[in-house]
Copies of this chain bind each other. A is one copy, B any other.
Amino acid sequence: MKRRDFVFFTGLSVFAGRALAQGKPGKQRVVIQVSDNDPAKWALALSNARNVQTDLGKENVEIEIVAYGPGLAMMKAESPVAGRLAAALDANVGLIACENTMQNTKIEKGDIYGGVKFVRAGVTHIMKRQGEGWAYLRP
Protein backbone atom coordinates (compact mmCIF):
# COMPACT_ATOMS: atom_id res chain seq x y z
CA MET A 1 0.00 0.00 0.00
CA LYS A 2 1.41 3.38 -0.95
CA ARG A 3 1.64 6.09 1.65
CA ARG A 4 -1.14 8.12 0.08
CA ASP A 5 -3.41 5.09 -0.02
CA PHE A 6 -2.76 4.46 3.64
CA VAL A 7 -3.81 8.00 4.48
CA PHE A 8 -6.95 7.57 2.44
CA PHE A 9 -7.78 4.31 4.17
CA THR A 10 -7.08 5.65 7.65
CA GLY A 11 -8.98 8.88 7.18
CA LEU A 12 -11.93 7.09 5.68
CA SER A 13 -12.12 4.38 8.32
CA VAL A 14 -12.08 6.90 11.16
CA PHE A 15 -14.75 8.90 9.35
CA ALA A 16 -16.89 5.79 8.79
CA GLY A 17 -16.40 4.60 12.36
CA ARG A 18 -17.57 7.86 13.87
CA ALA A 19 -20.57 8.06 11.54
CA LEU A 20 -21.52 4.50 12.52
CA ALA A 21 -21.20 5.24 16.22
CA GLN A 22 -23.36 8.33 15.98
CA GLY A 23 -26.11 6.91 13.77
CA LYS A 24 -27.93 9.31 11.46
CA PRO A 25 -26.58 12.85 11.68
CA GLY A 26 -28.47 14.80 14.29
CA LYS A 27 -30.02 11.70 15.88
CA GLN A 28 -29.19 11.59 19.60
CA ARG A 29 -29.33 8.41 21.64
CA VAL A 30 -29.53 7.69 25.32
CA VAL A 31 -29.71 4.51 27.37
CA ILE A 32 -31.41 4.95 30.76
CA GLN A 33 -30.56 2.47 33.52
CA VAL A 34 -33.02 1.30 36.18
CA SER A 35 -31.40 -0.88 38.86
CA ASP A 36 -33.23 0.23 42.03
CA ASN A 37 -36.33 -1.45 43.44
CA ASP A 38 -37.98 1.94 43.84
CA PRO A 39 -41.17 2.90 41.97
CA ALA A 40 -40.27 6.59 42.38
CA LYS A 41 -37.09 5.93 40.38
CA TRP A 42 -39.08 4.06 37.74
CA ALA A 43 -41.42 7.06 37.39
CA LEU A 44 -38.40 9.38 37.17
CA ALA A 45 -36.81 7.27 34.42
CA LEU A 46 -40.06 7.39 32.43
CA SER A 47 -40.37 11.15 32.96
CA ASN A 48 -36.75 11.60 31.87
CA ALA A 49 -37.47 9.73 28.63
CA ARG A 50 -40.56 11.82 27.96
CA ASN A 51 -38.77 15.09 28.70
CA VAL A 52 -35.92 14.21 26.35
CA GLN A 53 -38.42 13.50 23.58
CA THR A 54 -40.24 16.78 24.26
CA ASP A 55 -37.03 18.78 24.37
CA LEU A 56 -35.30 17.31 21.31
CA GLY A 57 -38.31 16.20 19.25
CA LYS A 58 -39.45 12.59 19.30
CA GLU A 59 -38.03 11.90 15.83
CA ASN A 60 -34.56 13.23 16.72
CA VAL A 61 -33.80 10.93 19.61
CA GLU A 62 -33.62 7.20 20.31
CA ILE A 63 -34.19 6.08 23.90
CA GLU A 64 -33.92 2.77 25.70
CA ILE A 65 -34.73 2.05 29.34
CA VAL A 66 -32.85 -1.01 30.60
CA ALA A 67 -34.06 -2.63 33.85
CA TYR A 68 -31.89 -5.13 35.69
CA GLY A 69 -31.19 -6.40 39.19
CA PRO A 70 -33.59 -4.95 41.77
CA GLY A 71 -34.91 -2.63 39.03
CA LEU A 72 -36.35 -5.46 36.94
CA ALA A 73 -39.70 -5.34 38.79
CA MET A 74 -40.39 -2.10 36.89
CA MET A 75 -41.01 -4.17 33.75
CA LYS A 76 -43.41 -6.73 35.27
CA ALA A 77 -46.97 -6.94 33.95
CA GLU A 78 -48.16 -6.09 37.46
CA SER A 79 -45.76 -3.12 37.80
CA PRO A 80 -47.25 -0.06 39.52
CA VAL A 81 -46.05 1.97 36.50
CA ALA A 82 -47.60 -0.43 33.92
CA GLY A 83 -49.83 2.32 32.52
CA ARG A 84 -46.79 4.49 31.89
CA LEU A 85 -44.96 1.57 30.24
CA ALA A 86 -47.77 1.48 27.68
CA ALA A 87 -47.37 5.20 27.01
CA ALA A 88 -43.59 4.84 26.68
CA LEU A 89 -43.96 2.02 24.12
CA ASP A 90 -46.50 4.13 22.20
CA ALA A 91 -43.90 6.91 22.11
CA ASN A 92 -41.26 4.53 20.70
CA VAL A 93 -39.19 4.33 23.89
CA GLY A 94 -37.49 0.93 23.97
CA LEU A 95 -38.14 -1.03 27.17
CA ILE A 96 -35.62 -3.77 27.91
CA ALA A 97 -35.49 -6.45 30.63
CA CYS A 98 -32.40 -8.43 31.71
CA GLU A 99 -32.73 -12.21 31.27
CA ASN A 100 -29.92 -12.88 33.78
CA THR A 101 -31.95 -11.17 36.48
CA MET A 102 -35.09 -13.01 35.42
CA GLN A 103 -33.33 -16.35 35.67
CA ASN A 104 -31.87 -15.55 39.11
CA THR A 105 -35.23 -14.40 40.47
CA LYS A 106 -37.45 -17.03 38.78
CA ILE A 107 -39.32 -14.49 36.67
CA GLU A 108 -40.72 -15.81 33.39
CA LYS A 109 -41.18 -13.90 30.13
CA GLY A 110 -44.93 -14.27 30.70
CA ASP A 111 -44.56 -12.21 33.88
CA ILE A 112 -43.13 -9.26 31.93
CA TYR A 113 -45.24 -6.44 30.44
CA GLY A 114 -46.10 -7.03 26.76
CA GLY A 115 -43.86 -5.15 24.33
CA VAL A 116 -40.83 -5.18 26.62
CA LYS A 117 -37.78 -6.67 24.87
CA PHE A 118 -35.12 -8.94 26.35
CA VAL A 119 -31.34 -8.94 26.45
CA ARG A 120 -29.16 -11.65 27.97
CA ALA A 121 -27.37 -9.24 30.34
CA GLY A 122 -28.65 -5.73 30.98
CA VAL A 123 -25.21 -4.54 32.07
CA THR A 124 -23.51 -5.74 28.89
CA HIS A 125 -26.20 -4.09 26.79
CA ILE A 126 -25.57 -0.77 28.56
CA MET A 127 -21.81 -1.14 27.90
CA LYS A 128 -22.51 -1.90 24.24
CA ARG A 129 -24.68 1.18 23.84
CA GLN A 130 -22.02 3.41 25.41
CA GLY A 131 -19.47 1.90 23.02
CA GLU A 132 -21.77 2.84 20.13
CA GLY A 133 -21.81 6.46 21.30
CA TRP A 134 -25.08 6.53 23.21
CA ALA A 135 -25.24 8.79 26.25
CA TYR A 136 -25.77 7.02 29.58
CA LEU A 137 -28.23 8.18 32.19
CA ARG A 138 -28.70 6.69 35.63
CA PRO A 139 -31.63 8.56 37.27
Q: Which residues does A use to contact B, with CB under 8 Å?
A: 3-4, 6-8, 10-15, 17-18, 28, 30, 33, 35, 40, 44, 47-48, 51-52, 54-56, 69-70, 100, 120-121, 123-124, 126-127, 130-131, 135-139
B56 touches A69 (CB 8 A): no
Q: How many copies does the complex hold?
A: 3
Which residues of chain B are within 8 angstroms of A11 by Cβ–Cβ distance? 6-7, 10-11, 14
Most chain B beta-carbon contacts within 10 A, residue among A12, A30, A48, A121: A48
Give chain B nearest CB distance to A98 CB in angstroms: 9
**Taking CB as reference atom, which chain B residue is nearest A44?**
B69
The chain B residue sitting closest to A12, CB to CB, is B10
